[in-house]
Structure 1
Amino acid sequence: MLQFYVIYAVLLFSSACFLIKWFFFSSTSHNNLPPSPSKLPILGNIHQLGLYPYRSLQSLAQRYGALMLLHFGRVPVLIISSADVAREITKTYDLIFSNRPKSMIAEKLLYDAFGRKYSEGEGGRKFKELLGEFSQLLGGLNIADFIPWLRWVNYFNGVDAKVKKVAKELDEFLDKVVEEHLHGQEREIKNHGSEDGKDFVDVLLEVQKDNKDDFSFGKVTIKALILDVFAAGTDTTYTVMEWAMAELLRHPRVMKELQNEVRLIGNGKEKIKEEDLDNMYYLKAVLKETLRLHPPVPLLVPRESTQDVKIKGYNISAGTMVITNAWAIGRDPASWDKPDDFSPERFLNNSIDFKGHDFQLIPFGAGRRGCPGTLFAMVIIEIVLANLVHKFDWSLPVGTKPEDLNMTEFTGLTAHRMVPLHAVATPTFY
């Protein structure tokens, strides 16, 4: 009991000190700043993020504007909620906003910061769990990044312990992957259709072997690259697939239209191949509409300004964090007619794409910080979805109506479905 009172007294004293500093020593010299909601001492606007930050930020932007300044602790955070402002950040002033802000959790999980199918068996299930925890930690709000003196909170709420656990287990897994490739333990069972059987890890190891002295490329770098590619490519890819199937099941008309296109082009083939995708315009429209409503990363990975700059007439200081709300941009009535409706037809008569040139649709970001694996990921998603609707007729379980399908999100770094999607697949024979 005495220990509790000591901690309570220390907390009260610390809070009082920071309140005094906040009120009497905060800088007031910055003029012409973007619109901003009222903030609390110490916390700033953190309390306004809610359970679904991208929804809360959209609501705030509707009141304060598409260019809005918040404070997470003492860190100024610029929130971008329209295509017009996103263009300024990712194109006009792309170089100025090309930095990434520091994150304690990211540094620990991503190292300061595969040949066989590692998704199979008990080890595969464990790795999937690790990826889920990895995504949740990276997507969470770490109070220590914005209010450093409250870093001790992570010790009591278990964040520190969870970060250490996930980092350790991921490192052990990646060590195993590298060692297996390094010693050629899997060479006899690998078959990816390439001429020499080499995969991504093999190439990285060759780069390391041929590495020149003036460029550091060690084992830690290799593990970090593997994790980056595997985590980013896996989590976001299956998230998009799940949302696409959910929307198709909610909209039987769209499902039928897609099946008609795929089966006409497939023309009795056993499976759809990459060369068949070029003429599947409705398939591409379905996926664009899915990405518009359900971007896998609703709040794009933050950027940070490297120097003072003026955006839309407002002064933005160096060191300002920038968060682009891709979820809100995809539902902006200024860019989209009936933005909450799932209507792939909207993409059939225009050239809007997700490659980073059309700023009303940037689920993978744009500019220097756009996702480098966008095209590769989308080809995979297109092939998988095309084959799913080509080979099977899909329906919801008995007693479930399309309009009753639960579309609630579960947020981390990526926005998954809260409730796993259950569907009935009936094989189609040709």
Structure 2
Amino acid sequence: MKGVFSSTMFLSLLSFFITILILLKLIIIRITENSKTKLNLPPSPPKLPILGNLHQLGALPHRSLRELSLKYGDMMMLQLGQRKNPTLVVSSAEVAMEIMKKHDIVFSNRPQNTAAKILLYGCTDVGFGLYGEDWRRKRKICSIQLLNTKMVQSFGVIREEEVAELVNELREVSTSEAKYVNLSEMLLSTLNNIVCKCVLGRKYPGDGHSRVKGLARNVMVHLAAFSVGDYFPLLGWVDVLTGKIRKYQTAFEELDALFDEAIAQHLTGNPLKGFLEILLQHQVDHTKTKSKTNLKLPPSPPKLPLIGNLHQLGTLPHRSLRDLSLKYGEMMMLQLGQRQNPTLVVSSVEVAMEIIKTHDIVFSNRPQNTAAKTLLYECADVAFALYGESWRQKRKICVLELLSPKRVQSFHLIREEEVGKLVDKLREASSYGDGCYVNLSEMLMSTSSNIVSKCLLGQRCSRDGYSRMKELTRKVMVHLTAFTVRDYFPWLGWVDVLTGRVKEFRATFDAIDALFDEAIAQHLTGNAKKGFVDILLQFQQNNMLSFELTKNDLKALLMDMFVGGTDTVSVTLQWTISELLRNPNIMKKAQEEVRKVVGQKSNMEENDFSQMHYLKCIIKETLRLHLPATLLAPRETISSVKLKGYDIPAKTMVYINAWAIQRDPTFWENPEEFLPERFEDSEVDFKGQDFHFIPFGFGRRSCPGMNFGLANIEYVLASLLYWFDWKLPQSDTLNQDIDMSEVAGLVVSKKVPLLVKPIAFSF
């Protein structure tokens, strides 16, 4: 009796705890939904709590939705249960035509439900496969090889034979005493036989026929069945307890066994060929990937329960992952927490080269974390946006209009003015006593922020209401790489709300969004100096684009440029000056070159930099040894793919450890040393063609702001070397070195600020 009571109490407490978690989750979802940026969404029928619009689908959804469309319009937005994303229902030819003609690729993906993932080999088919290179190849086989007109005609004999059998059965029944026949069942049997003979090369008489027909029917039923986990992700365990998952798995195993049997017969020779014979001829390795568990995945370090490999990332992931790669190889598969999909880490030139040359599109997506969705207008920017037509159009604007070499050169007066202010501050500091040092890290950050702000908005960060921009940009950089529980343990997303992390992201977003709104309003009224924002507004107002550039799109692009153009430049300059101070002979050689090229001119000119060859070598060597984004921005596979003989599943997050690649002794002599001379007689460049030197990334996802960043780095660095000599604090001089410790983030910066004494050079 006591045992029964204890079990009952345990189950009651467990149920209560689960209920509380569900209610908390629903409250949090409602709070976060209400805080989202207001979008112009299609009309929506009234929703019920928790269920949303599920109850309105009825037993015949096509009829129920037609009735709802008569009231709410040809486009309706539904909330089906607690699905993370909404559901759009289209009921008119006009909308369907616009989708097809203007947005076909955008609407080309498939949602994947529980049944489809189990029954269709992880959705590696054509019907439910994710849109991408892998799906296109498979569809091409279907269209050109299996279902072309000639092939369909070639199976005329099979149709003739099976329909003749049906006619004979019906003729026999017509002469018998039977009054009626079940034509539905007879048609199903005939079609089943036709398909079996066309696909597998044979039909299954007797019990075999019943088995095949039953399996096909089960699959159809299961694919459309209601699975609790598809609409209420927190309650996915209900499908296990009710036996639904077991049913799916049983049906899959039976159908899989039938396919194995058919494949074995064809491999040993079968007199009647079908689609299967053609597929076997196209199969590359003559093996069949039966399920996810049979994939040949890259090696993986040992995992801990729940957290997987998270603990192995350390405080400096690029270094930890390089050390792991020395043991587990150039490709490693990690499990980070309870993320649904694995993470691939690439640490070699060969693999990076295969990605760009063979599978660039497959690896062109971006994973989107909680911070990016909150801070970047639901990832409507270029850096974190999903790969697709919208992303291509926005990137095209950046490359051809905003960040082209000509546009970058046009902002030389801004660089000249802001660097002039920096030089004046340093000259003033140089007049103070020997014990006075400046925080060059902070000064470089301010200068970079002001240059970017004036180029984008026409105003400095340090003026009026824009003084917060530098602080906000820094917060965005920190937030984008902050550890968010939801990203690694999806069912614990409510923890981020309770700890205030989501609120912190939201507060930063609201502040910077208000600043952008203010800036845009000033530019619309003509009360501000020209900048990138005016170019974007011109495109928007004159309908000069093939897609609609919304206000949020515009602000997302501005955010990208603030984040990408500020810290990356200032951090690169900090590392450069630090290395030059550690290597005084290199600094002296660079100063001599700069002072010789510029001469006695009061200002540097843009064409001066083309003559500063050693300065460019120094910048290259800094970007090799201290590239800002050590792991580059993470990618995500659009579809499954074979890479170096390994199976990489769809939606795998991919890190390219560029830091490890750029220190690979196979390609770099003395890779840990700062040696600008290695580039003097070398054609190696960072434009994405030399895969052992990729500080700006490569392929479709390479950094579009490379020209802009380099122009700022060259101008600031040349000015610092031209106008000043530099001295370290006494403590660093005695130790004969500088603290080069790193701190991880969106960019890897110096842990200790760079304190130096500028000494004005006398010409």
Q: TM-score if structure 1 supplies the norm length?
A: 0.89
Q: Is the 8 A contact 2:473 2:562 kept in 1?
A: no
Counterpart position of 2:113: none
Judge conservation of contact 2:539–2:545 (CA < 8 Å) in 1. no
Post-superposition CA distance 1:143-186 (Å, at most 9, x none): 32232112122124332121111111111111111111111122
Are 1:419 and 2:752 counterparts? yes
Given that residues 310 and 316 in structure 1 are in contact (C-alpha distance below 8 angstroms), is that contact kept between their aligned partners in structure 2? Answer: yes
CA contact (8 A) 1:68 1:79 kept: yes
From 8, 19, 42, the equivalent of 2:306 is: 42
When Rg is computed on C-alpha atoms for both structures, the one with the higher figure is 2
Contact 2:581 2:726 in 1 (8 A): yes
Please report how far the alpha carbon of residue 80 of structure 1 lies from its aligned counterpart in structure 2 after TM superposition: 1.0
* CA distance 1:373–1:397, shift in 2 (3 Å): same
Equivalence for 1:179: 521
Q: Which residue of 2 aligns with 1:194?
A: none
Once the two structures are aligned, what percentage of the paired residues are identical? 43
Q: 1:270 aligns with which of 602, 622, 644?
A: 602
Displacement of 1:223 after TM fit?
Answer: 0.9
Question: 2:743 is matched with which residue?
Answer: 410
1:32-181, aligned counterparts within 5 Å?
A: 32-72=296-336, 73=338, 74-113=340-379, 114-121=456-463, 123-181=465-523
Could you tell me whether the CA contact under 8 Å between 1:274 and 1:379 is conserved in 2? Answer: no
Supply the distance in 2 between the matched residues of 1:144 and 1:422 (Cα, whole angstroms): 39
Amino acid at match of 2:302: S
Q: What SS does the aligned partner of 1:246 have? A: helix
Contact 1:137 1:163 in 2 (8 A): yes
Q: Distance in 1 between matches of 2:586 and 2:15?
A: 59
Which whole-Å CA distance do the structure 1 matches of 2:647 and 2:620 have between them? 35
Compute the displacement of 1:123 (Å).
Answer: 4.1
Rounded Cα–Cα distance in structure 2 between residues aligned with 1:174 and 1:314? 46
Shift of 1:124: 4.4
| Whole-angstrom distance in 2 between the partners of 1:362 and 1:403 | 31
- Which residue in the other structure is 1:210 paired with? 542
Identify which of structures 1 and 2 has the higher relative contact order when contacts are C-alpha pairs closer than 8 Å and 6+ apart: 1
Deviating more after overlay: 113-122 vs 267-276: 113-122
Paired residues, what number?
Answer: 410
Contact 1:81 1:325 in 2 (8 A): yes
Q: Which aligned pairs between 1:303-318 and structure 2 lie closer than 5 A?
A: 303-318=635-650
Q: After superposition, what is the alpha-carbon deviation per residue over 1:290-312, rounded to whole angstroms, capped at 9, x for unaligned?
A: 11111111111111111221111
Over aligned residue pairs, what C-alpha RMSD do you find?
A: 2.7
SS in 2 for 1:400: helix
CA distance in 2, matches of 1:90, 1:239: 28
Deviation at 1:269, TM superposition (A): 2.2
C-alpha distance in structure 1 between counterparts of 2:758 and 2:308, whole Å: 49
Q: 1:341, 1:385 → 2: CA distance? A: 21
The 1:309–1:261 alpha-carbon spacing in structure 2 relative to 1, beyond 3 Å, is same
1:41-65 superposed Cα distances (whole Å, 9 cap, x missing partner): 2222112111111111111111111
Distance (whole Å) between structure 1 residues aligned to residue 685 and residue 705 of structure 2: 15
CA distance in structure 1 between the partners assigned to 2:315 and 2:545 by the alignment? 49
Q: Which moved more, 1:59-68 or 1:28-37?
A: 28-37
Call closer, same or farther: CA 1:376–1:214 in 2, change over 3 Å. Answer: closer
Give 1:279 deviation, angstroms: 2.1
Give the whole-Å Cα distance in 1 for the aligned partners of 2:762 and 2:546.
59
Counterpart mapping for 1:186-335 below 5 A: 186=528, 190=529, 198-211=530-543, 215-335=547-667
Partners of 1:330 and 1:397 in 2: how far apart? Answer: 31
Residues 268/8 of structure 1: CA separation in 2 closer, same or farther (3 Å cut): farther
Q: Is the 8 A contact 1:75 1:146 kept in 2?
A: no
Gaps of 5+ in 1: 191-197
Distance in 1 between residues matched to 2:318 and 2:676, nearest whole Å:
23
Which structure 2 segments of 5+ residues have no match?
1-12, 23-235, 250-290, 380-455
Supply the distance in 1 between the matched residues of 2:742 and 2:466 (Cα, whole angstroms): 24
**Which residue number corresponds to residue 393 of structure 1?**
725
- String of CA shifts for 1:198-229, please: whole Å, max 9, x gaps: 42111111111112696221211111111111
Q: Distance in 2 between matches of 1:428 and 1:281?
A: 22
1:85-108 Cα distance to aligned partner (Å, 9 max, x none): 111223321111111112221111
SS in 2 for 1:96: coil
Distance 1:282 1:143 in 2: 46
Residues 66 and 220 of structure 1: CA distance in aligned 2, closer, same or farther (over 3 Å): same
Aligned partners of 2:544 and 2:536: how far apart in 1? 14
Structure 2 letter corresponding to 1:105: A
How far does residue 81 in structure 1 lie from its aligned partner after superposition? 1.0
Task: Decide whether aligned partners of structure 1 residues 276 and 154 sit closer, same or farther in structure 2, where only a CA change above 3 A counts.
Answer: same
Taking the aligned partners of 2:461 and 2:521, their CA distance within structure 1 comes to: 18
Q: Is the 8 A contact 1:139 1:414 kept in 2?
A: no
In structure 1, what is the Cα distance between the partners aligned to 2:604 and 2:513? 37
Q: Distance in 1 between matches of 2:625 and 2:484?
A: 27
Residues 343-380 of structure 1 deviation map (CA, whole Å, 9 limit, x = unaligned): 11111121111111111111110000000111221122
Higher helix fraction (1 or 2): 2
Whole-angstrom distance in 1 between the partners of 2:342 and 2:366 = 14
CA distance in 1, matches of 2:630, 2:586: 24
TM-score normalised per structure 2: 0.51
Q: Deviations over 1:237-262 (max 9, x none)?
A: 11111111111111111111111111
Assess, with a 3 A threshold, how the Cα gap between structure 1 residues 125 and 340 changes in structure 2: closer, same or farther.
farther
Q: Residue 141 and residue 333 in structure 1: after superposition, are their counterparts in 2 closer, same or farther (change >3 A)?
A: farther
Q: Is the 8 A contact 1:271 1:390 kept in 2?
A: no
Q: Which moved more, 1:140-149 or 1:226-235?
A: 140-149
Residue 8 of structure 1 and its aligned partner are, at CA, apart by 12
Aligned residue for 1:426, secondary structure, equals: strand
Partners of 1:211 and 1:240 in 2: how far apart?
Answer: 38
Letter in 1 for 2:506: K
Within 1, Cα distance between the matches of 2:479 and 2:533?
A: 26
Matched residue SS, 1:62 = helix
Change in Cα spacing, 1:214 to 1:95, as seen in structure 2 (3 Å) is closer
Question: Does the 8 Å CA contact 1:35/1:65 hold for their aligned counterparts?
Answer: yes
C-alpha contact (below 8 Å) 2:723/2:760 kept by paired residues: yes
Distance 1:212 1:336, change over 3 A: closer
